[in-house]
Structure 1
Amino acid sequence: MAELSNRLTALLGIEYPIIQEGMGPFKTNRIAAAASAAGGLGTVSMPGMTKDPAVGSRLLRENIEQVAASTDRPFAVNVPVGRDAAGTVLPVSEAYIRAVVEARDSDSTLSRQLVALTTSAGFPGEFRPLIRDAGLVHMHKVGSTKHARKAEDAGVDVIIASGYEMGGHTHATPVHTFVLVPNITEAVSVPVVLSGGARDGRTLAAALALGASGVAMGTRFIATEDNTDWHTAYAQKILDAGEGDDMVFPAVYGPARGLHNAGVDRLLEIVRTNEMSQDELTRWKDEALIRAQEDGDVDNGAMPAGQVVSGIHELVSIAEFIPRMAAEAADILRRLAGVGQPVH
């Protein structure tokens, strides 16, 4: 769609400026393939934050190859970057970054399709040369203007500005999307993607009006007909949730936003009583996420989700949803440009 073509779509080789976020620690292969096939950018999620690095790397490579076999369009991989107490990147995060680079280097098909690596949680500064030299578009998620400037100075190609209302890992200092995105677009020269609160053509148009080049969404893609990797009970919880049903809780790499349930209450009790070691607690969190996503334990698992759940009421087909969202945004922007129709 020519009206929405911009630096972001050109850089990634996609039709619409719509990105499916990384949504680990369980796989998002079918969602990613569907999002890319529909003209957006699908994202392969990392398979676990407490996996043995060798096992995790192998699983990630398998997921990458499955998506590449399911669509001929570009896609990305998301790797959260954790660090230990000494500031060193965790072995599993490093293994995932290297697995992405090695996959692209070893296969000519993958080198054409695997176009981008998204990093989040922490900044992988020491791995910037590796990512750059692999020819990957490096997208990095931030929650502050300071971190956006730092990422641009390090050579990152795209900034994902994630507002406090987003699902999954969020930020210790709350800055909401409507404030954060224009702050960041004024501060950096690289393309900026809005993450947090996007769900339809109206929110895509709003993101573009704020100076962003596109949107990234996670929660909206959970409640899709294509999300057959995840248990249907999770998607139903998204559809049933309303305003105030979400909360922020301590996750693996910092605070995260998700739906309130008995699992989150149990997590808060574990943290309060200090009954587990840090390694045990991290593994518990990882397993709680997978219990909800894979097994459908929506009572005792952990369910990342953004505040946008209150506006999501039906399952959609990704093949229909992404072009429709783009068309709605283009129509809104045409009307706002003053084609003689009243704006309501």
Structure 2
Amino acid sequence: MNWNTKITELFNIEYPIIQGGLAYLAYADLAAAVSNAGGLGQITAMSLSSPDELRDEIRKVRTMTNKPFGVNFAIGQHGRAYEHMVEVAVEEKVPAISVTGGNPKGVLDMVKGHPIKKLVLTAARRQAEKAEKLGADAVMVVGQEGGGHLGRGDIGTFVLTPQVVDSVSIPVIASGGIADGRGMLAALALGAEGIEMGTRFIATKECVDAHESYQQAILDADENSTVVIKRSLGAPARALRNTWTDEILDIEGKYGDYESLKTYISGQANKRYIYDGEAEKGFGWAGQSAARIHDIPTVEELIKSMVSEAEAIAGRWK
């Protein structure tokens, strides 16, 4: 099967597979493994504490791979300025950046004129159209199946993807609910030029910062094991359901304001779960695709199995 698409051409990668930004988890080991396996790995910039840390992480990736990689900027969700971090990406001449969680204009303006490929995560057709006008080279569209922060609507990935494909002229990448070769092939059939995965990459050996109990919770998940929190704040996000998220939902139902929720939805609460395995003292992001994840392979094994599965399906229809 010919895996050449507009996305593989844009990023000079072998397979149209992009690793999500994964707050607090997407660092050099995982990013380099994805890139080495033929996809596009990414570093999460805004989970790092300083520009120097980002610079070190970028340089570490380059000691581990000579393949293209990206840096993700999750703006608007961490309550801090991003400009000094973007400056590092420009100075280090990273091959690609992605922008999630807010208006991408500021970041895109900063990299204008530099040979950096620009991705923007969107959750609605109008957002994708705006991203194209602002200069994005490609858009990722995430449906409600995805993990972490989502759009405010309840549109699924396989409805949203063809809608965006028909509305923009730049390549579209499908995200949300995709964890295997079946999902990848289906996304391509809907007109996407590639896929982005987050949850599936958490359950890999190279996601070294993810606590084994977090990974095990993903393996144990079924179709009812995730829940959307933070709707009352206008920032819905999908996480693994546990007593902590139940408490969040209870607070949202009673109060729904940020002051009541801030200690429950903080980065520290997230890290207690994903780093320390304290499942009842925090939360961990995960998409509905967790229900289809049953092993913890290496990234190379995962991508090879996805490609083989997709090719086998395609072969049955020849």
Q: State yes or no: 1:145 paired with 2:117.
A: no
36-45 vs 120-129, which moves further = 120-129
How far apart, in 2, do the equivalents of 1:210 and 1:12 lie?
21
Q: Match of 2:73, SS? A: strand
User: Does the 8 Å contact 1:4/1:326 carry over to 2?
Assistant: no
Q: 1:250 matched to which residue of 2?
A: 230
Alignment deviations for residues 4-29 of structure 1 (CA, whole Å, 9 cap, x no partner) = 11111011010000111110134432
Q: CA deviation at 1:42?
A: 0.6
210 and 282 in structure 1: CA distance in 2 versus 1, 3 angstrom threshold: farther
Q: 1:87 matched to which residue of 2?
A: none
Q: CA deviation at 1:96?
A: 2.7
Q: State yes or no: 1:36 paired with 2:16.
A: no
Equivalent position to 1:186, from 145, 166, 186: 166
Q: 2:316 matched to which residue of 1?
A: 335
User: Does the 8 Å contact 1:25/1:46 carry over to 2?
Assistant: no
Kindly provide the amino acid, as one letter, of the partner of residue 281 in structure 2.
N
Q: 1:236 matched to which residue of 2?
A: 216
Alignment deviations for residues 64-123 of structure 1 (CA, whole Å, 9 cap, x no partner) = 222221111111111112189xxxxx543333323322322xxxxxxxxx3110101112
Q: CA deviation at 1:254?
A: 1.3
How far apart, in 2, do the equivalents of 1:266 and 1:29 lie?
34
How far apart, in 2, do the equivalents of 1:57 and 1:128 lie?
18
Equivalent position to 2:58, from 64, 68, 84: 64
User: Does the 8 Å contact 2:25/2:207 carry over to 1?
Assistant: no
273 and 149 in structure 1: CA distance in 2 versus 1, 3 angstrom threshold: closer
122-131 vs 70-79, which moves further = 122-131
TM-score (structure 2 length as normaliser): 0.91
60 and 269 in structure 1: CA distance in 2 versus 1, 3 angstrom threshold: farther
Gaps of 5+ in 1: 85-89, 105-113, 339-344
Q: CA deviation at 1:190?
A: 0.8
How far apart, in 2, do the equivalents of 1:274 and 1:212 lie?
36
How far apart, in 2, do the equivalents of 1:119 and 1:47 lie?
11
How far apart, in 2, do the equivalents of 1:282 and 1:121 lie?
20
Alignment deviations for residues 281-325 of structure 1 (CA, whole Å, 9 cap, x no partner) = 279511111112221222221110000111111111111221231
User: Does the 8 Å contact 2:104/2:131 carry over to 1?
Assistant: no
CA RMSD of the aligned region, Å?
2.4
Paired residues in the alignment total 316
Percent of residue pairs identical: 36
Specify which structure has the higher proportion of helix. 1
Instruction: Map 1:171-210 onto structure 2 (within 5 A).
Output: 171-210=151-190
299 and 29 in structure 1: CA distance in 2 versus 1, 3 angstrom threshold: farther
How far apart, in 2, do the equivalents of 1:136 and 1:282 lie?
37
Q: State yes or no: 1:319 paired with 2:300.
A: yes
225 and 83 in structure 1: CA distance in 2 versus 1, 3 angstrom threshold: closer
Gaps of 5+ in 2: none
Kindly provide the amino acid, as one letter, of the partner of residue 325 in structure 1.
M
How far apart, in 1, do the equivalents of 2:26 and 2:240 lie?
20
Q: Match of 2:22, SS? A: coil
Q: 1:298 matched to which residue of 2?
A: 279
How far apart, in 1, do the equivalents of 2:87 and 2:234 lie?
20
Q: CA deviation at 1:267?
A: 3.2
Task: Tell me: higher relative CO, structure 1 or 2? Use CA pairs within 8 A at least 6 residues apart.
Answer: 1
Q: 1:22 matched to which residue of 2?
A: 21
User: Does the 8 Å contact 1:160/1:194 carry over to 2?
Assistant: yes
Q: Match of 2:127, SS? A: helix
Instruction: Map 1:46-85 onto structure 2 (within 5 A).
Output: 46-48=45-47, 55-82=49-76
Kindly provide the amino acid, as one letter, of the partner of residue 5 in structure 2.
N
